[in-house]
Amino acid sequence: MANAALQRFPLPLLVGFALSTAPVFGQYKAANPKVAKIVSEISESRIAETLKKLESFGTRNLSSSQDDPARGIGAARKWIYAQFQSYSPRLEVIYDQYRVKKIEGRNSRVPADVDLYNVVAALPGTINRDHRIVVSAHYDTLVLRGPTGTGGDTPGQADPDSNQPGVNDDGSGIACVMELARVLSQYEFEKTLVFVAFSGEEEGLLGSTLYAARAKRENQNIEAVLNSDIVGGEVAISGRTENRRLLVFSEDPGDSPSRTLARYVREISERYVPSMHVDPVFRADRVGRGGDHTAFQLEGFAAVRFTSPQENLANEHSITDAFSNMSPAYTARVARVKAAAAASLAWAPRAPAVSEQIERDGQPATRLFLTRGESRADAVLKWKHENPEPDVTGYAVVMRSTTAPFWEREVFAGKVNEYSFPDLSIDDYVFGVKAIDVEGNESLVSPYIPPSRTKRIVQTN
């Protein structure tokens, strides 16, 4: 059964070493039919209707009306909440509520105390329920006064009850989150999926910062945060059009949890949405800017941002950020990429452990399961996978040059916990390992990264 589930395509052996053991050397890209089906169920027309509905609230500014039944942020959040509830009885929908105090300042975006509501819908997992995949965007909007309405050169924000449509920023992200909640809630996953519509992003990532801080305090096991922000436009301010590419931002260093997640999204997209080119950008966000994924990165969680490569800065934070300037077709393609990544992660096994915490000289330290072996000339990789899921069929070792951005080679090692490369220096490559199940779902890669050096303090008289 395992052999049938994994399609293997031979790759040439790496120059400089040969394999002395039996496992197949190759790269496999097995497609899970269930993930492919989910991708096919993403509806462009439903995304378009969601975008129009979000625009109909007039404004979703954090300080706009909380009580008007048809206009303002209160009406928008209640509609999002009701939609989540309508998708499936298995979705656990709540308001994640906070009281935010006034922020002083002439151009303050929080001029008075305000209630902030994140809207959260959780789909509990069946096996690894405590492992969470967060699918997020923000539903609040902002219009700034000034010549361009893009921030920076503007003197302050407009009246919060004035028209602030925010259809691209970030109605497009919310349309993705809601469409994924609708489709994915019809399935059962091993891990818990959490769909979140954040508020207060435009006021300094308030909703996501409060949510991520609480998740950290509660030791929540958030495996990945897939955040979409500005994924509805395909025409840049220059007039250039591009609708088959998607940027995925992730923070340094090269094998941070977020960077590992970005590589995963790229590989999964190639498998399930080949019509889209996912282009990882190796920086935390656009220069001088941020989004809700930032709050999770700062708490140590793996988090990435999906963004269109062609932003129209003349429309952002402006009354022209309207449905008439949107491309629902592009947003739907982004949603398919996001759905493939979220479903694959939620069905995938947990990632193996490639290190352990020990005590050395009375101090906590990290021991990496990567050695040169008895010969002192090999690359010997070991890993641990406590209580592996029953459908795990084996593990794959990946490797790349230290200067390469993406994994270059894979070896399917089988259902073992050790693999060796004879006569290969561990100094010349970055290694990693991932778990594979019988349906071809892959865990995130666990990279073998030496712990950071710390400054040595020498005591003197």
DSSP 256-306: -HHHHHHHHHHHHHHHH-TTSEEEEESSSSSTT---HHHHHHHTT--EEEE
Last residue of a domain, one of 347, 377, 402: 347
Q: What is the CATH number of the domain that holds 52?
A: 3.40.630.10
Whether 182 and 125 share a structural domain: yes
Number of domains in the chain: 2
Q: Could you report the per-residue pLDDT of 155-178, keeping only the tens digit for each? A: 467 899 999 999 999 999 999 999
Looking at the fold, whether 82 and 67 belong to one and the same domain comes out as yes
Contacts of 1 (CB under 8 A, 6+ apart): 438
Statement to judge: residues 180 and 316 lie in one domain: yes
207 and 322 housed in the same domain: yes
Query: How high is the pLDDT of residue 5?
Result: 31
Q: Which residues pair with 446 in a beta bridge?
A: 433
Tell me, yes or no, whether 273 and 359 share the same domain. no
441 & 343 share domain:
no
pLDDT score, position 360: 81
What is the model's pLDDT at position 29?
61
pLDDT at 239: 81
Return the pLDDT at 46. 98
Contact 184, 342 (CB under 8 A): yes
Q: Judge whether 452 lies within some domain.
A: no
State the Cα–Cα distance between residues 20 and 420, nearest whole angstrom. Answer: 9
Tell me the pTM: 0.91
Q: What is the pLDDT of residue 154?
A: 45
Are 43 and 25 members of one domain?
no
Q: What is the span of the domain harbouring residue 258?
A: 33-347
Domain boundary, last residue among 301, 328, 347: 347
Q: Does 266 lie in the same domain as 136?
A: yes
235 within 8 A of 303, measured Cβ to Cβ:
no
Question: Tokens representing 330?
Answer: 């592009």
| Domain match, 44 and 93 both | yes
Low-confidence ranges of the chain (pLDDT < 50): 1-27, 146-155
Q: SS3 for 217?
A: helix
Q: Which two tokens stand for residue 170?
A: 């970030």
Q: What is the pLDDT of residue 223?
A: 98
Pair 272, 360 in one domain: no
- Residue 361's pLDDT is what? 78
Q: What pLDDT shows up at residue 383?
A: 98
Question: Please, are residues 252 and 260 in contact by the beta-carbon 8 Å criterion?
Answer: no
Q: Are residues 121 and 263 in the same domain?
A: yes
